[in-house]
Structure formats: C-alpha cells, structure tokens
C-alpha cells in the first residue's frame, strides 16, 4: 500500500534539494562535499551488510549475502579513500593515496557484482560450503593485500600525478571497470528470473549510473574539478538505487528479495509441521488399533491356555500347554516392546512430573521379583541409602519401567548368586545400581548392548529369549527424562548404573495415608494402630513421621488416616487394635470422634489415646479406659513406652485366652486343630451378626446369635459362649433391651479382636470375606468379541459371581436400564457404539449413578487411559486379561464400597 502511494515528483524534488545543497557545499568547501558523498555511500554499504547478515539464515538464495559482504569491504576501502583525500592531511607521506584506493574499491565492487550475477548457483554452493564467515575471510585477505600493496609495499600503480592529472593506468582501469559493469548488466539480464521485476530494474539502473560515474572519472585532471564532482553525483545516485533495489524493496516488501525466501520457508515449515503432526496422529492411531487387534486374540489364546493348564492333570499334556503358555507370554512381551519402541521412535512419549515415594516404588519392585528369586534360589536385595529422600518428583511409571527392564534382565541372565539394587542420592541426582552375578557381557560386545535389536551374543536370544529392545527402550526413556545409563563389568556379572535428575519433594500427609485394609490382607499378621489426623488444619509432619517411625515395631504397624466423614467406618473395617487421635491444642474435632467411637457398639471397646501438645521429642497423651486395661502409665512413662505396654498387654491377654481355649479343646475333644480350623467361620458369623444388628432384623439376630453360641460352646470358647448366652437370653424377652444386646455383642467382638492373628488362617479368612462380598455383586460384561466374553465368563463363574453379557453398547444400555448392576466390564473398542460413548452416557444418566465402570483396553498409550478416567471410568484392566488382576480389581471395588457400607450407590439387593 505504501508503494502504491509513492509519488515520483516527491523523489525529484528531494533529489533536486540534495543536488543543489551539495553544489553550494562544494563551492564553500570541496573536502566537506567529498566527505559527505563518500560517507553516504559508506553508510549505504554498511546498511546492506548489516541487514543481509541478520537475514542470511532465512535466505535460500545467498547471492545478495555475497554482494553485501563485498560492499562491506568496498566501504572499508572507501573510508580510507575519504580519509586520505588530497587536503585532508591525515596521510602526510603521499597526497594521492585516495586515487589508488578509489581504483581498488571500484575493481572490488564491479567484480563482486559480475561474479554474483554470472554464477548465482555456484555462489550459493560456495557459501553453503565455506559459510558466510569463509567469504568474509576471503574478502578480508584480498582487502589486506590491496591495502598492503598501497601503504606498505607501495607496488600499486600510481593513479594521479600533481599538475599532470590521471595516469594512463587509472584511465584504462576506469574503462575496464565499465566493461565489467556492462558484463554484469548482461549477466543480470540473463539471470533475471532470480529477482522480481522491480529489483531487477533498480539493480540495472544502479550499475548504469556506476558506469556514468566511472566515465566521469576518466576525464578530470583536478581532484577538485567539476568532472570529479559530477562523478560523485553519479555515485550518490548509484548507491541510492542499490539501496532501493536491495534494502527498501527487499525489506519493506517481504515477498520480494530478502524475505521472499523467508515467507516461502515459513509456509513450507508450516505445511511440513502439519504433515508431521498428521503422520504422528495416524501412527498413534495405527499403533493403538494394532495393539487392540493383536491383544484381543492373544487375550483368548493366553487366557484359555491358562485355564486348560490349570485343569489338566496329565503331566505330558501339561508340559505341552506350558510350552504354549510360555510362547504366548513371550509373544506378548515382544509386542509390548515393539509398541513401546515405536512410541519412542514416533516421539509420543510424554514425561510426567509428579510427587511419589521412591521407597514405596522400590518396595513394590522387590515384591514383584520376590517369588522368582525364591523359586530360582537367588538372593534378591534392595538397599536404600539414608540420603535418598522420602519423596521425589518425577515420572513414577517410567522409572518403574526402567527398573523392571533392568531387574528382569538381571534375573534372566543369572543362574547362581543373586541380584541387588543400591540407591543413593546426591546433588539432585538419583543413582541406581542394578548388579547381578550372571553371565556378564564380553568387552567387545558392550558397545552395542544399548542399540535396538542388538544382543551381546545372538546365542543368548536362543537360550534366554528376548528381542534386544529392552536396553534400547531403557536408554531412550532415560534420555527423555534427562538421565543416563552406563555399563560396568564386575568380573562376575554385570552392573548397570542409572543416573537420573530428581528433585526432592516435601513430605505431605497423603504420603503416609494407606488403604484401610492394607494391613488386613491375606498374609498380614500385624496388629494395626490407626493414627487419625485432621488434615483440614496445619499439621507438623515431623511429629507425624516420628510417631509412625518410633511407634511401629515388629508385629505392629501404624497407619495414618485423615479425619473425614468415613473415619469411623475405616476404623471398623480395618479392625484397629488401637486408635491414636492427633490434634492441635484447642481442637475439638478429635474429642468428638472419641465420643462417637465410645457410643457406637461396634467400636466402643477399641482403645483410644488422644495425643496432645505433640512435639518431636515428647508427646503428652490421654488414654481412655479401654487402653488403661492393658497399660498403666506413670509420670516417668513417655508415649512410646505406654503404647508398647498397651500392645504387649493386649497380645498377652489374647494369647493366654486362645491358649486356654486350645488346652480345653485338647482335654475335652482330644484335638485343638478343630478350634483353629473354625476360628475363621466364627469371625464371619460375628460380622454377619453385626450387620444384622445394624439393620435391626430381630429374626436374623436371633438365628445368628444361636448359631454363634452353639459353635462357641462346641469349640470350648468359654468367654464367647457366655456372652452369646446373655445376648440370646435378652432376645427372648418381649421386648428385648437392644442396648444390652449391642453391649454384649461389643464384648464378643472385643474378645475376638484380642486373639493374635497368628491363630487365624489369615489367607483363608481373607478369601472367605472376599467370597461373601463378591458373591453379592452383579456384573455386566460388555464386549463385541465372543471369545473374550467366554473367557471373562469363565473367570466370573470361577468366582461364583452373577453376571450378564452384552455384545454391543446399545444392548448394554438397555440392560442397565432394565436391571441393577454394581460393576460394568466395558470394552473400549466396539462396533455400533464404542466404550467411550457408553461410558459418557452412563455418567450423564442420573438413574445409573454409582455404577462402577472398569474399562477393558488393549491400548498402551497413557493418554488414552487418562481419557478414560476423564470420561468417568473408575478403573481399567489391560488385555490380555489375567484372572488374578481381574479378581484384584473386583476386590478393590469391594474394599471401597465396604467403607461406604454400600448404601449410597449400590443396588438394594447388595445389602
């Protein structure tokens, strides 16, 4: 728009003002006139260079860059020409250096233009080969030689003689320079396609006026004469046109000259970026679809092979089935590695920075390989240095993936000895050393072990299996996380050292909060102390941490729970032996909770200790009557001594009572084993009786009490028998005093709670409890693949669960509205209606509120899994589906719903 508005008349008026102004300056002082003209040309040349230099990286055509470099050195020589002009009195040994410098500058200018327009492709190639700095060095050397020939060696031909005028060499040189410029014009015309029309015309005009300038300088005989002045006028016009051609046109109109390439490159880059993103998205979808298509049949192959293997009794057939099992597992591992490698290659790995406990991660890693180490009789140790923070910030999933890869390799190649991991922390770097006593890696093969599809020896693949991708994936993951890995040979085995940047995180309350039933699992014989804290108020984490560390000991675990509306339910479900209430001075929250526990018949017997004025060195406490039964504090006792006294007292009392029952059973029945076998059933009956008391169903309470009394009498459990008799007697009254009934029930529950867990078959008790809870579940299986539905149906039948099937989303939604379900096992990819659509419809429907949705997915992309959770799923299970994992997912649902008493969201028939 600006160019369109330009008026040639304005240029003419401006030019006339400049010409007249310089004319009067020349009459007043020729040296001033000369200096102004030369400085103008020097400024133009310098401007050309600076602009081109800062724009060079955007330009594919480097011809203008080449010209700008040439003009820079022309400007340097012109500056010396100006300073050495006759009359300036700067160089006193000779008056006519200026004439020699003029010829040198004009030769350089004309040759630069001719070369640029004669061989533009070669100029481009030369600049790409030697770089712009290389061109500058070449011009610098040429300029240095020219200046040395004039000022130092004095071998440059003389160009002007006083009182005689120009020499023959000077005049001939001017004609030669004109010839070079004419050649340059012709070559520019030949290669005019490299320039837009306006720039081409301006460049041609600039060189024409340069020729006029040179012709003027062939005629003067006086450095201050009129022809010399005319030549300088032509020089002003020539340099101004060069400015217009390259700077004005090229900069202000970015689609011409300099920035034309920049604009084109931007368009190309944008197109390339869009194409790359589209290709990446396509690759991502392809990998997700391939994962689904491969894992879906594998789900059936591996699942039904496992079923046949478990059911088959003949050793020969079991051996063949085991071969299929191992082959399926190997194929699944191969697919996982290839998919993971593909994601890394496609740049689709995203690293998350979240707080997590590195110690818990390592504990889980140790548990993961514990059975393998025991079966193969290998030692397996994890050492954590005291310098390692409790909490670090990083990608927990990827760090675990790296450690599983390295540990799995260590076990794979170790037949004798063992595997160990040592973890240290220094200056924000986590160092993890995975060491084994295996076969090691030959020195000449160590260089290739981190390359994809490479193994130290191809015979290893035949003997140990593997694809050679594990270490490559590990190294790539560490690179993405900013870490590193190196290998060191230990002489007997291998040692991989992982270094990873990891910021230490602040310890928060949630880091010590554990699942309520974590201590009541199938293999736990620990007594449990619950430490309740009010997380809505400021908490001294140092005190909490100290209580957990110092209060925990062999056979006793302290679990931290935040205070909320479900705290009392958690205490009941977790079968707490003692409850600690941590409070700040002046808080009434814990006082109200203590009162609530005391009033509820299900918790009234639980020892409660309120902790006051807590400091890291000493804690003031107040114990209730239940705690004081087993411990007697005095002024010298501190809290930790008292809590140990209470726990030991409960343990001793319960042990003595259990031993009395066993001795009596042996004396009167001849076998104490019967008592031990039936203890679990007594616990289940007491829980059923508690539920009946809550529901206040008298007939059910009477029936269960009678059954409990009979069993306790048969098993010689005197204390339980007497209390059950009292409950039964009260229930016969019309009406019975239910407060007394609940009180006697509390006594029964307290008695059972005192018996050490070592007397129970905790594994079997866990199974029995889960069976009872799972047996009430109703599950809807939604999957378009018949084989998958059959496999899941087999698993659910094995757990004696009630279920129905739907082969697509529409059928599933119809069933959900017609019947009540607690859990939906929902396949993510189906025809008619996919899993995500169904999930969103379920969450949008108030009538389906509270249904627990577990997505079945073959995807390995964390972003897809996050999308499931964002849409409202509660959990997910990866294909191929493993029976143990499915059972664990359902038990996890039961655990959380038990804490809510299954009253808010579950169907009525669950109660």
What confidence tens digit (pLDDT) does each residue in 305-354 have?
A: 777 777 777 777 777 777 777 777 667 666 676 666 666 666 666 777 88
Tokens of 837: 């659509």
Q: Which of 56-65, 392-401, 415-424 shows the lowest per-residue confidence on average (mean pLDDT)?
A: 56-65
**d(C-alpha 275, C-alpha 280), whole Å:** 9
Task: Label residue 433 by pLDDT band (50, 70, 90).
Answer: very high
Statement: residue 602 has pLDDT above 70: yes
Please indicate whether residue 865 or residue 825 has the higher confidence score (pLDDT): 825
Residue pair 838/813 in contact (Cβ under 8 Å)? The answer is: yes
pLDDT of residue 898: 55
Please indicate whether residue 210 or residue 450 has the higher confidence score (pLDDT): 210
* Residues whose CB falls within 8 Å of the CB of residue 206, separated by 6 or more in sequence, listed in order: 238, 239, 241, 242, 245
Q: Which helix (H) or strand (E) holds 556?
A: strand 556-562
Task: Label residue 276 by pLDDT band (50, 70, 90).
Answer: low
Determine what percent of the chain is predicted with pLDDT higher than 90. Answer: 5
pLDDT of residue 71: 86
pLDDT of residue 20: 66
Please indicate whether residue 609 or residue 232 has the higher confidence score (pLDDT): 609
The maximal CA–CA distance of the chain, rounded, in angstroms, is 148
pLDDT of residue 794: 84
Comparing C-alpha atoms, which of 583, 579, 584, 537 is closest to residue 559?
579
What confidence tens digit (pLDDT) does each residue in 13-59 have?
A: 666 776 666 666 766 667 787 788 888 888 888 887 887 777 666 55
In this structure, the dihedral spanned by the alpha carbons of residues 332, 338, 339 and 340, taken in order and rounded to 10 degrees, is: 110
What confidence tens digit (pLDDT) does each residue in 716-771 have?
A: 788 888 888 888 888 888 888 888 888 888 888 888 888 877 776 555 555 555 55
Statement: residue 142 has pLDDT above 60: yes
Determine what percent of the chain is predicted with pLDDT higher than 70. Answer: 75
Mean pLDDT of the chain: 77
Please indicate whether residue 858 or residue 560 has the higher confidence score (pLDDT): 560
List the beta strands (DSSP E) in 741-843: 778-782, 802-806, 823-827
Statement: residue 144 has pLDDT above 90: yes
pLDDT of residue 520: 46
Is pTM beyond 0.85? Reply is no
Please indicate whether residue 513 or residue 184 has the higher confidence score (pLDDT): 184
CA-atom Rg of the chain in angstroms? 45
Please indicate whether residue 658 or residue 403 has the higher confidence score (pLDDT): 403
Comparing C-alpha atoms, which of 603, 640, 648, 638 is closest to residue 624?
603
pLDDT of residue 257: 45
* Residues whose CB falls within 8 Å of the CB of residue 37, separated by 6 or more in sequence, listed in order: 22, 232, 233, 235, 236
Residue pair 353/394 in contact (Cβ under 8 Å)? The answer is: yes
Residue pair 597/580 in contact (Cβ under 8 Å)? The answer is: no
Task: Label residue 510 by pLDDT band (50, 70, 90).
Answer: low
**SS3 category, 858:** coil
Ordered alpha helix ranges (H), 376-427: 396-412
Q: What is the 3-state secondary structure (H, E, C) of 442-502?
A: CHHHHHHCCCCCCCCCHHHHHHHCCCCCHHHHHHHHHHHCCCEEEEEECCCCEEEEEEEEC
Statement: residue 141 has pLDDT above 90: yes
Give all strands of the β-sheet with 484-489 in edge-to-edge order: 379-384, 418-426, 429-436, 494-501, 484-489
pLDDT of residue 431: 92
pLDDT of residue 314: 78
Statement: residue 516 has pLDDT above 60: no
Tokens of 475: 């190294």
823-827 vs 778-782, strand pairing mode: parallel
**d(C-alpha 260, C-alpha 254), whole Å:** 5
Statement: residue 812 has pLDDT above 50: yes
Instruction: Tell me the average pLDDT across 68-82.
Output: 88
**d(C-alpha 828, C-alpha 833), whole Å:** 10
* Residues whose CB falls within 8 Å of the CB of residue 371, separated by 6 or more in sequence, listed in order: none
pLDDT of residue 518: 42
Instruction: Tell me the average pLDDT across 68-73.
Output: 88
Question: Residue written as tokens 């410029």?
Answer: 181
pLDDT of residue 104: 92
**SS3 category, 585:** coil
Residue pair 809/838 in contact (Cβ under 8 Å)? The answer is: yes
**SS3 category, 769:** helix
Statement: residue 355 has pLDDT above 80: yes
**d(C-alpha 215, C-alpha 566), whole Å:** 102
Instruction: Tell me the average pLDDT across 671-687.
Output: 72
Statement: residue 422 has pLDDT above 90: yes
Instruction: Tell me the average pLDDT across 149-174.
Output: 87
Give all strands of the β-sheet with 852-857 in edge-to-edge order: 802-806, 778-782, 823-827, 852-857, 875-878
Please indicate whether residue 389 or residue 224 has the higher confidence score (pLDDT): 389
Task: Label residue 833 by pLDDT band (50, 70, 90).
Answer: confident
Task: Label residue 862 by pLDDT band (50, 70, 90).
Answer: low
Buried b (16+ CB within 10 A) or exposed e, 677-698: ebbbbbbebbbbbbebbeeeee
Task: Label residue 831 by pLDDT band (50, 70, 90).
Answer: confident
Please indicate whether residue 863 or residue 557 has the higher confidence score (pLDDT): 557
pLDDT of residue 560: 82
Give all strands of the β-sheet with 556-562 in edge-to-edge order: 556-562, 527-533, 578-582, 608-612, 620-623
**d(C-alpha 335, C-alpha 291), whole Å:** 8
pLDDT of residue 522: 40
pLDDT of residue 911: 27
The phi and psi torsions of 618 (rounded to 5 degrees) equal -155, 145
Instruction: Tell me the average pLDDT across 382-409.
Output: 87
pLDDT of residue 556: 78
pLDDT of residue 448: 61
Statement: residue 240 has pLDDT above 50: yes
pLDDT of residue 818: 86
């Amino acid at each position: 728009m600006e160019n369109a508005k330009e008026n040639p008349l304005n240029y003419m008026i401006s030019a006339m003002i400049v010409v007249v102004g310089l004319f009067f300056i020349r009459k007043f002082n020729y040296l001033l006139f000369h200096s102004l003209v030369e400085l103008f040309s020097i400024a133009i040349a310098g401007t050309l260079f600076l602009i081109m230099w800062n724009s060079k990286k955007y330009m594919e055509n480097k011809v203008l860059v080449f010209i700008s470099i040439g003009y820079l050195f022309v400007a340097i020589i012109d500056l010396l020409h100006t300073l050495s002009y006759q009359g300036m009195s700067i160089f006193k040994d000779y008056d006519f250096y200026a004439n020699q410098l003029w010829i040198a500058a004009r030769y350089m200018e004309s040759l630069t233009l001719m070369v640029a327009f004669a061989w533009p492709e070669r100029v481009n190639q030369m600049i790409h080969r030697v770089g712009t700095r290389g061109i500058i060095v070449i011009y610098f050397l040429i300029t240095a030689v020219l200046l040395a020939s004039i000022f130092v060696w004095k071998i440059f031909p003389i160009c002007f003689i006083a009182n005689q005028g120009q020499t023959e060499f000077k005049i001939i040189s001017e004609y030669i320079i004109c010839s070079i410029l004419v050649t340059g014009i012709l070559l520019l015309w030949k290669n005019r396609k490299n320039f837009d029309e306006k720039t081409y015309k301006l460049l041609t005009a600039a060189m024409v006026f340069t020729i006029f300038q040179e012709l003027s300088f062939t005629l003067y005989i006086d450095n201050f004469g009129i022809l010399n002045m005319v030549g300088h006028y032509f020089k002003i016009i020539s340099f101004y046109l060069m400015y217009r051609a390259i700077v004005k046109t090229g900069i202000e109109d970015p689609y011409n000259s300099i920035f034309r390439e920049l604009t084109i490159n931007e368009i190309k880059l944008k197109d390339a970026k869009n194409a790359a993103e589209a290709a990446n998205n396509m690759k991502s979808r392809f990998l997700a679809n391939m994962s689904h298509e491969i894992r879906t049949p594998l789900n059936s192959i591996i699942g039904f092979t496992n079923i046949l293997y478990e059911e088959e009794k003949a050793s020969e057939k079991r051996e063949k089935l085991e071969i299929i099992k191992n082959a399926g597992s190997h194929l699944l591992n191969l697919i996982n590695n290839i998919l993971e490698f593909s994601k890394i290659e496609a740049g689709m790995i995203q690293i998350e920075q979240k707080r997590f406990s590195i110690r818990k991660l390592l504990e889980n890693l140790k548990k993961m390989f514990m059975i393998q180490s025991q079966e193969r009789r290998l030692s397996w140790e994890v050492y954590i240095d005291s310098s390692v923070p409790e909490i670090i910030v990083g990608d927990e999933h990827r760090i675990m993936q790296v450690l599983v890869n390295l540990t799995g390799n260590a076990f794979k190649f170790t037949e004798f000895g063992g595997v160990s991991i040592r973890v240290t922390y220094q200056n924000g770097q986590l160092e993890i050393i995975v060491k084994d006593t295996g076969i090691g890696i030959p020195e000449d093969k160590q260089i290739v072990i981190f390359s994809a599809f490479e193994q130290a020896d191809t015979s290893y693949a035949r003997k140990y299996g593997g694809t050679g991708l594990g270490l490559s994936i590990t190294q790539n993951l560490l690179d993405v996380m900013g870490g590193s890995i190196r290998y060191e040979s230990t002489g007997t085995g291998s040692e991989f050292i992982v270094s990873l940047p990891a910021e230490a995180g602040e310890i928060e309350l949630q880091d010590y909060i554990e699942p309520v039933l974590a201590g009541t699992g199938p293999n736990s014989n620990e007594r449990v102390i619950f430490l309740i804290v009010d997380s809505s108020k400021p908490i001294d984490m140092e005190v909490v941490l100290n209580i957990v560390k110092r209060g925990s000991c062999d056979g006793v675990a302290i679990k931290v729970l935040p205070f909320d509306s479900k705290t009392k339910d958690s205490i009941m479900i977790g079968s707490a032996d003692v409850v600690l209430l941590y409070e700040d001075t002046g808080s009434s929250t814990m006082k109200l909770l203590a009162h609530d526990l005391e009033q509820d018949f299900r918790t009234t017997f639980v020892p409660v200790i309120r902790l006051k004025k807590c400091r890291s060195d000493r804690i003031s406490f107040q114990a209730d009557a239940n705690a004081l039964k087993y411990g007697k504090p005095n002024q010298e006792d501190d809290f930790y001594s008292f809590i140990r006294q209470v726990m030991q007292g409960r343990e001793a009392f319960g042990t003595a009572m259990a031993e009395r029952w066993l001795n009596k059973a042996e004396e009167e029945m001849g076998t104490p084993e019967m008592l031990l076998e039936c203890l679990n059933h007594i616990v289940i009956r007491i829980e059923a009786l508690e539920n009946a008391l809550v529901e206040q169903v008298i007939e059910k309470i009477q029936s269960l009490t009678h059954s409990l009394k009979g069993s306790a009498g048969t098993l010689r459990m005197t204390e339980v028998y007497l209390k059950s008799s009292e409950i039964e007697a009260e229930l016969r009254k019309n009406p019975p005093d239910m407060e007394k009934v609940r009180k006697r029930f509390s006594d029964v529950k307290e008695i059972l709670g005192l018996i050490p867990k070592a007397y129970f078959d905790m594994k079997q008790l866990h199974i029995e409890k889960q069976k009872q809870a799972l047996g009430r579940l109703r599950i809807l299986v939604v999957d378009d693949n018949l084989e998958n539905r059959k496999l899941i149906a087999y698993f659910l039948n094995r757990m004696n669960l009630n279920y129905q099937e739907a082969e697509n989303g529409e059928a599933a939604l119809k069933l959900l509205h017609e019947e009540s379900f607690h859990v939906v096992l929902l396949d993510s990819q189906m025809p008619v209606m996919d899993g995500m659509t169904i999930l969103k419809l379920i969450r949008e429907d108030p009538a389906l509120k509270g249904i627990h949705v577990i997505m079945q997915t073959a995807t390995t992309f964390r972003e897809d899994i996050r999308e499931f959770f964002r849409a409202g799923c509660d959990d997910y299970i990866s294909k191929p589906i493993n029976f143990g994992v499915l059972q664990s997912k359902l038990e996890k649902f039961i655990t959380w719903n038990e804490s809510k008493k299954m009253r808010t969201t579950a169907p009525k028939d669950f109660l």
